[in-house]
Amino acid sequence: MTKKKDKKLSTLLAITDSGADTLRKAFRDYISFFSKSQGAFTGERKTYEPLDNTVDEPNRRGNRLVQTTVSEKMDWLLETNGEYIDALFTKEKTNASGKAKAVLVVEGEEWGEFTSLELLALKSFLDSSELKSMMEKIPVRSDSKEWTETDAEMYADREGLYETKKTEFPNRTTEKENYILPDPNLASLEGSNYVPQIGVKNITKELGMATYQEFSGEWSQRQRATALRKRDMLLKSVLTALKEANDVAVAESKMKGETIFEYLFK
């Protein structure tokens, strides 16, 4: 006699992944059918026998059959979705039993052994579109400038702060000074009402020395790219561990779809 092959958790996951949408759609279809097609559940039969010496009236005869019954609809609902309902509870019992577990290995380093529920929670966290979007928006320093870790006293005991080289330059101002333009004909005009021509020249004065330096608490482009790569690597490692964790025989649940439907609809 051939030994019955144990059903694996990975098989149940395939059933539950596809079955959830099917059952939701079935419920929506039933809601619509029950609301709009109540006539499908009713029927009628009309007979008519005319008395002697009277005119027959055939339109008083008829037979409209009941298309379906509530019991038939519920039986069909269970028949088409029972496997999913059974798999749902068996999956949860298997996960809760702790049988489904695996060692999580990330880039060659073992992080420890985790149950499939823990791994699924980590997968959900890493799969979050909000997490990825946040990481992609991490501000980064300009690559066109040379940055070094700062040792400025005002940022003492703070991590992740960088600075550019301090530049020093003089602070200058320009003043205007009037002067008389030289005129070679001035000697021949002595005693007249001559008005000399006035010129203006700019005189630069140094007022002091100034410095300029930039500081940044941003990441480098490489840091952000590395963080995004690590997220991808961790997610791949989790998926690998889940595949291994799910390669276990299931712990059969006593909760069955038939039991639920029998109680609710019979």
Rounded mean pLDDT, 71-96: 89
pLDDT of residue 172: 85
Given a cut of 70, whether residue 109 has pLDDT beyond it is yes
User: What is the chain's Cα-based Rg?
Assistant: 44
Given a cut of 80, whether residue 182 has pLDDT beyond it is no
pLDDT of residue 188: 60
Rounded mean pLDDT, 115-122: 88
- Give me the chain's average pLDDT, please: 87
199 compared with 105, residue with greater pLDDT: 105
Given a cut of 70, whether residue 191 has pLDDT beyond it is no
Tell if the pTM clears 0.85, that is, is over it.
Answer: no
Rounded mean pLDDT, 26-40: 91
Torsions phi, psi for 71 (to 5 deg): -60, -45
Rounded mean pLDDT, 139-168: 91
pLDDT of residue 20: 86
pLDDT, one tens digit per residue, over 204-230 is: 888 888 889 999 999 999 999 999 999
pLDDT of residue 1: 43
pLDDT of residue 73: 92
User: Distance between CA atoms of 266 and 261, rounded to whole angstroms?
Assistant: 7
Least confident of 2-11, 147-156, 167-176, 241-250: 2-11
Rounded mean pLDDT, 20-38: 91
Of 94, 90, 84, 91, the residue nearest 20 (C-alpha): 84
User: Distance between CA atoms of 257 and 7, rounded to whole angstroms?
Assistant: 18
Given a cut of 90, whether residue 112 has pLDDT beyond it is yes
Assign 64 a pLDDT band (cuts: 50, 70, 90): confident
pLDDT of residue 257: 92
| 163-174 burial: b if 16+ Cβ within 10 Å, else e | bbeeeeeeeeee
Residue 47 vs residues 52, 57, 138: alpha-carbon distances, Å: 16, 10, 81
Of 197, 70, 224, the residue nearest 138 (C-alpha): 224
Of 196, 174, 177, 199, the residue nearest 185 (C-alpha): 196
pLDDT of residue 2: 45
